[in-house]
Structure 1
């Protein structure tokens, strides 16, 4: 993402909060030009420890850059590791920094480059166990390389992805803001990437998009990661609306080898870059390397596998596994009387007369995720997205309120919604939001998710299902949970025809249910 906004700030602020323990000064080689398999020059740097290699060779880390950043992104972390006896190379992936070639979005060429760099390290130094690590783009490349190259013993994938489709096309909805940032900030893109983005924007040839995404997604390589026994550390952020936690929790659940999952407040790459959740992410990453590269018995393999930091309060909690709880509250949707009334959610099913509510497309409401990217980043510093809930309910939206909670309601995991709708057009979009609403009517965003539905049966009642984005949030006593649904959001591309009606039928035989996991 070669933009002067967030990613450049991330690079500038990268290392200010990490203080290593000083040992011997390593040797730093600032510029290495390594020729890849096809003659492309890959730019790298290298830290070599002053200490002699252990009998099994140096524990080695290969850092991979984030989108539009370069080999210098991890200088402080690399120096700290080298002072602790690690051999550390950082490089600019093809098309970024001064490396040659074109950006192929973790395609075959980029994965082959990583293998060439490992070859080079092994040819010039005594390499022991080896890890790959990176933030964002570097995380995705690290995971795919680890699956395809058994020489990678461990991975630290920070703000990474395991499913390209989920990132750019969540629930068949074009992630317009993040997709535009990606495609307009890399100046050396493979032409195929522009074609894929055009296909998504125009919703044509989606099969080609899926064919492009699959080999670039770690979920396609679960078997290989398990066979390799790769020790996988993953860190993702609740307000990361590019690479949501959902697909990473799915990958986590499918891995059989050593694994650890960190879930944090904040948005894409910011939490890992600006101090790492009070230093926790990078400290855990270093401990991960010490255990699985050096073989140190530091206890990380016997600790709880899931570290989840509560949104807004930034309180760290640890759990044995994910999902972190088997408890769930089921709220059944009940109707509103008119556009001027709120609907309700109750713990008992709807059993009244047949009733219908409707809301319409064509305009946005105050339900939303705030200012794209900026509001998400501020959440990592405990600043939530607020909205006045009275500006949501009405002609263009519908709002369901739960009963008041008399004790803290600790939401932990992935809320889901099953809802009956009767659309007036074959294509509609829903923006589904979950809020914590106080007695004065101010709501704080808990989570959300979009869904775009196509080829619907016009005028026919049909049930839709979706998962909202994974979250961790405490609803205080005296507050209610609000489900607010409208049809437009600042992050996402709108349908071409925005003028439609969505009717919500309420029948004893057609229950719409919101399920919220909690402690």
Structure 2
């Protein structure tokens, strides 16, 4: 059948108009939750009839202290791709009623109520949840609690509340204070938990509070539900460090994807997402597991790791990404003005010991809290002039000169023998990339606090550094710097203590660094 040029032109215009039609936006929805609390939400509805199985649907959950407007750009983009998209303000934030319960039972019940509402009002197909920070944690917990959640994109989230606020029994003072003081409408027990944590009281109660809010304990539920889980975390995220998320990743048996990026908590995702990679990958994840598109993401390497400073993307089949590691053993320094050394064999010389003291911070550290961490995402590391680290209040150990690039990938760890002079002591562990002029770039760090150490007794402590990806250039050294204070963390009440590091055949301290 022939078609006139005029009809063809009109038909093309209609098709073009349909292709470029904007989704319908409903800016304000009040949805009543199970206990009468009003939840404030918005909705993007595609300007196209639903597929046979219903609209692929995404439920966006806000970050801490933000609201339903946080994901307008992402929600609109998904709606233009045929998704039904709801964003809501979690209870206690934005215009929603109720009190913040830190991803507690009320907030999880809200998730199921919102899914009920969507299914009652629209043809919902497969459904996913997504969010940054608080929204990421709620997405993981919501997916574990409600099997209707088919896929998750959890960005800058957590899987272990205790690790976030109390890493190695060290109070995360800056981030914890920021969180508590920005939840203006909060349950009263949150103040009690934070007070207990800061005072070192009722830690069992803190752990009890954290358990139902930690997705690490619900891996079996995520596996049973068959949830497709994408997680993204950042190397300089000193609130929710990547370590607990890599732990959760290893427990997942269904479809899974792990993104590890430079930058700090939530900033990397908010400011473009690692050159757009995080959001683009999240959209592809939903296209595969909600829309059913065969876009290949399920056949690609499961781990995307972006190298710090260079921002070069690397992909690996799984995590851990390498089984190779270097073991460096700590050897003593001769004076307060010198450095110890990191060597490939244990110390076998005369019985020796070094000491350093609490009472003051040193040049070793993580930079300006939050600010320095955020700058790392733009390739600006934390620098320290290593000779300026006070040897009375710290101790340093240097590796041999690197004759080839040392590609650190994963989680370094330290086994350290110490003899403390007080029952409560804190150590701040730092790994630096040090050049020939003594300038050090921070590779990673970790705090550790002992609250009931045996005074005057030699004892071994162990700690994992924050997971990282970093290239130490040819001609540089790795430096382990240990002091007793860090700007992010709460200090012991009494900082007048001494740490002795013993060296002999039965007291071997060792640094382990994973690398390609």
TM-score range, shorter chain: over 0.9
Secondary structure class of the residue paired with 2:507: coil
Q: Report what 2:302 is aligned to.
A: 305
Shift of 1:421: 0.4
Q: Report what 1:348 is aligned to.
A: 345
Q: Report what 1:124 is aligned to.
A: 121
Count of equivalent residues: 498
Contact 2:157 2:233 in 1 (8 A): yes
Q: Report what 1:161 is aligned to.
A: 158
Say if 2:25 is the partner of 1:28.
yes
CA distance in 1, matches of 2:56, 2:163: 34
Contact 2:363 2:390 in 1 (8 A): no
CA distance in 2, matches of 1:507, 1:179: 40
Task: Tell me the TM-score normalized by structure 1.
Answer: 0.96
Q: Report what 2:473 is aligned to.
A: 476
Q: String of CA shifts for 1:334-358, please: whole Å, max 9, x gaps.
A: 0000101111000111110110000
Contact 1:23 1:84 in 2 (8 A): no
CA distance in 2, matches of 1:347, 1:306: 30
Say if 2:259 is the partner of 1:262.
yes
Contact 1:447 1:471 in 2 (8 A): yes
CA distance in 2, matches of 1:203, 1:230: 37
CA distance in 1, matches of 2:20, 2:429: 52
Say if 2:371 is the partner of 1:374.
yes
Q: 1:393 to 1:408 in 2, by over 3 A?
A: farther
Q: String of CA shifts for 1:33-64, please: whole Å, max 9, x gaps.
A: 00000000000000000111010000000000
Task: Tell me the TM-score normalized by structure 2.
Answer: 0.96
Q: Report what 1:432 is aligned to.
A: 429
Q: Report what 1:491 is aligned to.
A: 488
Aligned-pair RMSD on alpha carbons?
A: 0.6
CA distance in 2, matches of 1:211, 1:399: 38
Give ranges in structure 1 of 5+ residues lacking alignment.
1-21
Q: String of CA shifts for 1:84-138, please: whole Å, max 9, x gaps.
A: 1000000000000000000000000001001100000000000000000000000
* Equivalent residue runs for 1:85-484 within 5 Å: 85-484=82-481
Give ranges in structure 2 of 5+ residues lacking alignment.
1-18
Contact 1:28 1:47 in 2 (8 A): yes
CA distance in 2, matches of 1:383, 1:338: 33
Shift of 1:492: 0.1
Contact 1:133 1:139 in 2 (8 A): yes
Which of the two has higher C-alpha Rg? Answer: 2
Contact 1:341 1:393 in 2 (8 A): no
Q: Report what 1:6 is aligned to.
A: none
CA distance in 1, matches of 2:510, 2:461: 11
Shift of 1:23: 4.0
CA distance in 1, matches of 2:133, 2:462: 29
Contact 1:342 1:393 in 2 (8 A): no
Q: String of CA shifts for 1:129-163, please: whole Å, max 9, x gaps.
A: 00000000000000001000000000000000000
Given candidates 75, 94, 101, the residue that maps to 1:78 is: 75
Secondary structure class of the residue paired with 1:445: strand
CA distance in 2, matches of 1:364, 1:447: 18
Shift of 1:195: 0.5
